[in-house]
Amino acid sequence: MAIKVYVVDDSAVVRQAFMHLLQGDPEIELMGSAPNPLIAAPVIRRTPPDVLLLDIEMPGMDGLTFLRQLMSETPIATVICSTLSTHGSQVALEALAAGAVSVIAKPRLGLKQFLEDSRRELVQALKAAARSRPRAGATLRHSPAIVPTRPAVVAGLHALSMNKPVVLGSSTGGTQAIESVLMALPSDSPGIAIVQHMPEKFTEAYAQRLDRSCSMSVREARNGDRLERGLVLIAPGGRHLQLRKAGGQYFAVVADGPPVNRHKPSVDVLFRSAAECAGSDALAILLTGMGDDGARGMKLLHDRGAHTLAQDEASCVVFGMPMEAIRLGAVDEVLALSQMAGAIRSFDARG
């Protein structure tokens, strides 16, 4: 059965482009479109689509308000289409926190050509959303004024001797899953390197948002950053993140390169580098996401003695990535999302 998609976007050019792009896929049925939520609402409530493709900035009622309304009534799998701007990325993160499944970026200029070039990404996002479990509510805090107290991380012999890296990968549904894990960790937890599939320019805002909410410090990774206790490094959108070891410490390598498993950043790239430089000293975690990115990298980590964890199906928005790693025999433990922070603390305590 075809995936029924409904488009809400105030731009007639965008709506026409979406219609053109989606009509060529036999697995997708375009139900219709509307220029704003006020027109779309009665149609969606009468005949709910499988997936809603929603713009954020619209007159009358903005997409974020509409999304929150929908999620409080009858959650619908929603893909956000947001502009590649600082404001656009911040509002898109609010939408993800409100229950949207993923974000597709769009530029302010050259829109039609951009959408043509991004057709594959768009179709994959819609199909992933159709397989997801849409969930209402948010865990990310909306107030930027809330800053957690961060006790100073001791930088003595303990910090140096206990510098064992945690590497984590996720995709669809991962923004909320990552936040859930980090919120449960103390400020002196082991350094964590993360690849979350997100568009360029969105990862910086995401890292800043997490930094305001978590006890650990969180920032977008920069080339040469030391992965130290109390620090979380998020791979920048559009760049790969790897780890290298020097002088007993781990450092971030942020570099361009071709997509791996159709993704940049790619979880496999991070995991393979961790297998090479950390081996049995690493803890690897694979959370919710569509596809198989990270599965082969986790198998390499597992074969080199690293401890490997995958999120269970019941707590995943999409069980694709963890399932593929389990299928390869790459996973030591399958845990609920709520157990991941405890597993990191246990890994740290083992020394």
DSSP string, 137-191: ---S-S-TT-----PPPP-SHHHHHT---EEEEE-TTHHHHHHHHHHTS-TTPPP
Cβ(244)–Cβ(270) under 8 Å?
Answer: no
Q: CA-based diameter of the chain, in Å? A: 63
State the pairing for strand pair 102-106/166-170.
unpaired
Q: Choose, from 89, 132, 188, 197, the residue flagged as catalytic.
A: 197
Residue 348's CB: how many other CB atoms inside 10 A? 18
C-alpha span between 324 and 287 (Å, rounded)? 11
DSSP state of 280: G
Annotation says 87 is catalytic: no
293 is catalytic: yes
Residue listed under structure tokens 């849409």 = 134
Q: Of 33, 293, 302, 315, which one is the catalytic site residue?
A: 293
117-143 burial, b at 16+ Cβ within 10 Å, e below that, comes to ebbebbbbbbbbbbbbbbeeebebbee
- Report the alpha-carbon distance of residue 175 to residue 96 in Å, rounded: 7
User: What's the CA gap between 76 and 174, in Å, rounded?
Assistant: 17
The question of whether 312 is a catalytic residue gets the answer no
Classified as helix, coil or strand, 131 is coil
Tokens of 149: 């107290």
**Known catalytic residues?**
171, 197, 293
